[in-house]
Structure 1
Amino acid sequence: MNYPWKNMSPKDGFMVRQNAQLSDVDQKVLTFLYQPLIGSNAYSLYMTLWTEVGEETYWSNGILHSELLTLLNIGIPELYQARIKLEAIGLLKSYLKGSQSGKVYIYELLAPQSSATFFRDDLLSLLLFETVGERKFKDLRSRFAIASFDKEKYEEITKSFLDVYHFDANLLKQEKKLFEESIELVGETPAKGPEIGTQTFDFKFFYTGLNKHYVNRSAITKELESTMLVLHTMYGINELDMQQYVLEASNIDTGNIDERKLKNIVYRQYHNVKKEKVKLEDVVEKDIQANQNERKKRKSYLKQQGLTDDDIYLIEASEGISPYEFMTSIKEQKGGYVTNNEEWTLREILSKANLPASVINILIHYVLVIRNNPIFEKSLAYKISNDWAQNDVVSPEMALEKVKIMYQENAEKQQQAQRKQYTNFPSSNYGKTNKIRTETLPEWAKEGNVEKVEKPMSEEKKQAFSDRLKKIQSFGKEGEE
């Protein structure tokens, strides 16, 4: 399955742009009103992005997603989930630019709604009500309530602008061009709440049935239509049921509709039938869970095939990261860097061999780690990738099996070379001619021109090998469990 976060990488860069000034009151609104709806990860993401913005520039410096993942202690799927929650609720806009040097995101932070607007917004207020319950909802609303006073008992003595200031109108005309300059100022874009489309509710059908009754059609304003859309979306109210609820909330004499009564009727009916709160189903949450289940099944399958934990670490790492990132991770761990020739070789193999990225990652690991070559050797990489393409190596475990065969054959070849060396020295212990077993190797595995032949790993090297696999795995899935 192609999960949406697979297109993101820890090595992708991003910058943050602040669209509006954020006050202490905004932070309280975010903490008490938005956080219950978006969850702790999305809230932490918003606050972290906010702290990255310069005070008077309203832009951050360029940052890698890997730094963000470390700060938040989450993985790429959770980061993607948090990001789209902020987008859906109206707190973030995301932009992407791709180039040969990599992808760069722009995250534009939007101001939250004011508390007054939040509680007047049907969708936001109902979502909060359903999430925290009636008692907590009233408690939260009281946090932002301001005590009123009886204005009838007081005389307003506030001065108007012209009571206090006088200015030269001619001066304003002279400087008119200065004020007409096109410039975008912080706070210019008003805060917006989440929007709901009308695709799933047929208003034409709704009105056709409603016309048979006493309801005043003009009483259904755009605002009331928006309320009905929210009720339809949250509680699954269809057009026929909505007609009935609107009739119940209408005044039979005037034909006008009591919006508050309509919401109360729908709310009570839903909870009397369902006996449960409305649950916000995050579409990405299902994908994340499905991905985790797939990984568990995959790991269980690999164990059944007799693969070791180190083998599984390597396979999982190979499946979760692009070949270029995989190679970069290994080179960085070895204190080196990816050369232009290596990039070109890798692109050539990717375009011509038609092998899965995970298989090519196993090839990269073999050349750079198992053989401990300082560079991704072109001739060897071409021979192996060609052989694997011709032999339909389509999974990392198949590639790993090929690697193990090569490793064993090379170890035996070294032993044979050592035995031949010993027979050339006169010694009573080697007076007899020893029969040496020979192996028939495929063409790409005949390494007469290769300087280095693998030796069996010591326990220290095995531990270093395991540690390196874990680092490679975390390179692609930083923060994931």
Structure 2
Amino acid sequence: MNYPWKNLSPKDGFKVRQNGLLSDMDQKILTFLYQPLIGATAYSLYMTLWTEVEDDKYWSDGILHSELLALLNIGIPELYQARIKLEAIGLLKTYVSSEQEKNFVYELLSPQPVHVFFKDDLLSLLLFEKVGERKFRKLRQRFTSNSVNPKEFEEITKSFLDVYHFDSQLFNQEKNLLTEPVELVGATESTAPQLDSKQFDFKFFYDGLSTQYINRSSITKEIEKTIIVLNTMYGVDELKMQKAVLEASDIDTGKVDDRKLKQLIYDQYHQTNQQAVHVKDVMEEVIATSKTKRQFRKNELKHQGFTNEDIAVIEVSETMAPYDFMTSIKEQKGGFVAKTEEWTLENLLKRANLPSSVVNILIHYVLVVRGNPTFTQNLADSIANDWSQDNVTSPERAIQKVKELYQENAAKKQKREEQQKSYSKSKPATYRNNQASTRKETLPEWAKDDYQETEEKPMSKEEQEAFMQRIKRLEKQN
């Protein structure tokens, strides 16, 4: 399963850069105007990232995504969905390092000022469709302030030169200092969401209007942006837009009234559609599809005879990178990933023609099923060679191979014990005693008669339960 959030891991680090200090007004704009558009999760993500930056600072300390997931109580897909919503609406820029160890930078952008928000066709129409006319008017009224009545009050404000003396000579002396290029806080302006204009054929649109009374110059860049928004939101094609523009134009001057144009399109749409415009969230569909596929796959694995524990390991193996998977197991066992293990894993991934999920099952076999303290190269290469030659391409097939290995070793052990018992019974007691008394302890362990290979067995029940609890927590995060 290949989903957009697959390359985002709870173990990835990130820092937050704040472009400027959020004012009380910014917070109100985010809460009342942006939250209806982006939803509660994206709003919570923005506010959480904002609080990660300490007062009077513009960069946060390094943080793991696992901490963010715990704070928001969501998984990786929901985090990714919330993040791209903030990006699309113009509240966030995301950067990722090009180094092997993945790190992100989340740059928070200030929301649009109120006067810009309500003048922006896309933002204002989205809000209008989301909350309805009554609530829209109420929200706009919340940010409306009457100006001072000039009939009642006379302005007596002093100008700069009325109060301060301007020394032009000093300005010339310090001119170089004042013009030094520095990156100041707030220099990056907030951006409104952008739409693709390619889907609307303006050439065909203008060709149809060329024979009409409308002045070409009256359709300004601002009106073109309005046309793109109306085309995107309400699906108005070029022919219908020509008709609407004609109705919204002054027959004497040929000028287009953009407010009338928006009202016409809105009325026409809602005459035939009783419901508000539904803005489709692409990621919601992808997440829903992934959940459906995941459930289907889980049912399929159960039908094939895999246990719930097997399925949990399979699912986690498909969502984590091998290094993260190994680190997680080592931490559960109270250990750490040694440098030699890093090199072994890196060489294995380069040389073995095995998917990452299969490599994860191999790691699980060595460190959990066998209970080995380290991931050694000889053993890893031997198993990887066997699996590559046997064309093991899925984690479930890898688990089947693990079970086959376990059963094979158990059978060998039983056969060896039976042979040893049979051999011992066939010898006279005096011979066995003499053999025991003359045995030399200088022999290596593997050469002794009573040598037995280390039994390959699972963790104890308590250790296994603790490990599965951790697997379930990782599964929830992904």
TM-score (norm 1): 0.90
Helix, strand or coil at the partner of 1:454 = coil
Cα separation, partners in 2 of 1:353 and 1:479, compared to 1, 3 Å: closer
Alignment of 1:17-28 (within 5 A): 17-28=17-28
Q: After superposition, what is the alpha-carbon deviation per residue over 1:232-262, rounded to whole angstroms, capped at 9, x for unaligned?
A: 1111111111001001111222211111111
Work out whether residues 128 and 136 of structure 2, in 8 Å CA contact, stay in contact via their aligned partners in 1: yes
1:351 CA displacement: 1.9
Quick one: which amino acid aligns to residue 79 of structure 2? L
- Aligned residue in 2 for 1:153: 152
**Shift of residue 53 of structure 1?**
1.2
Cα 1:214–1:195 change in 2 (3 A) is same
Q: Which residue of 1 aligns with 2:443?
A: none
Distance 2:317 2:284 in 1: 24
Query: Contact 1:69/1:478 (CA < 8 Å) preserved in 2?
Result: no
- Percent of aligned pairs with the same residue? 60
Deviations 1:401-428 (A, max 9, x none): 111121122223333444455556679x
CA contact (8 A) 2:16 2:107 kept: yes
Q: Which residue of 1 aligns with 2:367?
A: 368
1:151 Cα offset (Å): 1.5
Q: Is the 8 A contact 1:317 1:469 kept in 2?
A: no
Aligned to 1:343: 342
State the Cα distance separating 1:56 from its structure 2 match: 2.2
CA RMSD in angstroms, aligned pairs only: 2.1
Contact 1:220 1:257 in 2 (8 A): yes
Structure 2 CA distance for aligned equivalents of residues 42 and 127 of structure 1: 16
Residue of 435, 452, 455 corresponding to 2:454:
452
SS at match of 1:199: helix
Mind listing any 5+ residue stretches in structure 1 that lack a counterpart?
428-447
Look up the match of 2:47.
47
- Counterpart CA distance in 1 for 2:397 and 2:190 is 54
How much has 1:269 moved relative to structure 2?
A: 0.7
Q: Which amino acid aligns with 2:28?
A: K
Q: Name the counterpart of 2:181.
A: 182
Aligned to 1:241: 240
**d(CA) in 1 for partners of 2:452, 2:48:** 51
Matched position secondary structure for 1:393: coil
Question: What CA deviation, in whole Å up to 9, does each residue of 1:35-80 have, x standing for no partner?
Answer: 0101111111111111111322311111111111111111111111
Query: Are the structure 2 counterparts of residues 473 and 359 from structure 1 closer, same or farther at C-alpha, using a change threshold of 3 Å?
Result: farther
Structure 2 distance, partners of 1:419, 1:182, is 84
1:242 maps to amino acid: M
Determine if contact 1:326/1:472 at 8 Å carries over to the other structure: no
* 1:473/1:340 CA distance change after superposition, 3 Å: farther
Partner of 1:58: 58
> Is 2:199 aligned against 1:200?
yes
Contact 2:369-2:458 at 8 Å conserved across structures: no
The residue type equivalent to 1:146 in the other structure is: S
Shift of 1:450: 8.6
User: CA–CA distance in 2 between the matches of 1:255 and 1:268?
Assistant: 22
Whether the 8 Å contact between 1:316 and 1:473 is mirrored in structure 2 is: no
Alpha-carbon separation, structure 2, partners of 1:186 and 1:466: 51
Partner Cα distance (1:327, 1:187) in 2: 42
Give the length in aligned residue pairs. Answer: 456
Q: How many Å separate the matches in 2 of 1:163 and 1:325?
A: 67
Q: By how many angstroms is 1:139 displaced?
A: 1.3
The one-letter code of the counterpart of 2:34 is Y
SS in 1 for 2:194: coil
SS in 2 for 1:5: helix
Structure 1 residue 467: deviation in Å?
A: 3.6
**RCO higher in 1 or 2 (8 Å CA, sep ≥ 6)?**
1
Larger CA deviation: 418-427 vs 181-190: 418-427
Q: With structure 2 as the length reference, what TM-score do the two structures score?
A: 0.91
> Any idea what SS the aligned residue of 2:189 has?
coil
Opposite residue 51 of structure 1, the aligned amino acid is T
For 1:345 and 1:188, locate their aligned partners in 2 and report how far apart those are by CA, in whole Å.
47
Alpha carbons of 1:336 and 1:450: their partners in 2 closer, same or farther (altered >3 Å)?
farther
Change (3 A) 1:456 1:421: farther
**1:285: Cα distance to partner?**
1.6
Match of 2:477 in 1: 479
Once the two structures are TM-superposed, the CA of residue 211 in structure 1 deviates from its matched residue by: 1.0
CA distance in 2, matches of 1:167, 1:250: 51
Q: Which residue of 1 is the match for residue 82 of structure 2? A: 82
2:452 and 2:215 map into 1 onto residues whose CA distance is 89
The change in CA–CA distance for 1:214 and 1:456 in structure 2 (over 3 A counts) is closer
Q: Which residue of 1 aligns with 2:431?
A: none
Q: Secondary structure at the match of 1:153?
A: coil
Contact kept? 2:369, 2:457, Cα under 8 Å:
no
AA matched with 2:454: K
Give the alignment of 1:283-322 within 5 angstroms.
283-322=282-321
d(CA) in 2 for partners of 1:288 and 1:389?
32
Partner Cα distance (1:147, 1:261) in 2: 25
Which digits, 9 at most, give the CA deviation of each residue in 1:250-301, with x for residues without a partner? Answer: 1222211111111011001111112211111112221111111110110010
Q: Is the 1:70–1:478 Cα contact (8 Å) retained in structure 2?
A: no
Once the 2 structures are TM-superposed, how far is the Cα of residue 474 of structure 1 from its aligned partner? 3.4
Q: Is the 8 A contact 2:10 2:477 kept in 1?
A: no
CA distance, structure 1, for counterparts of residue 153 and residue 390 of structure 2: 92
Whole-angstrom distance in 1 between the partners of 2:359 and 2:141: 60
Q: How does 1:15-414 map to 2 (within 5 A)?
A: 15-100=15-100, 102-414=101-413
- Residue segments in structure 2 that go unaligned for 5+ positions in a row: 427-449
Please name the residue that 1:430 is paired with.
Answer: none
Cα distance in structure 2, aligned partners of 1:466 and 1:293: 27
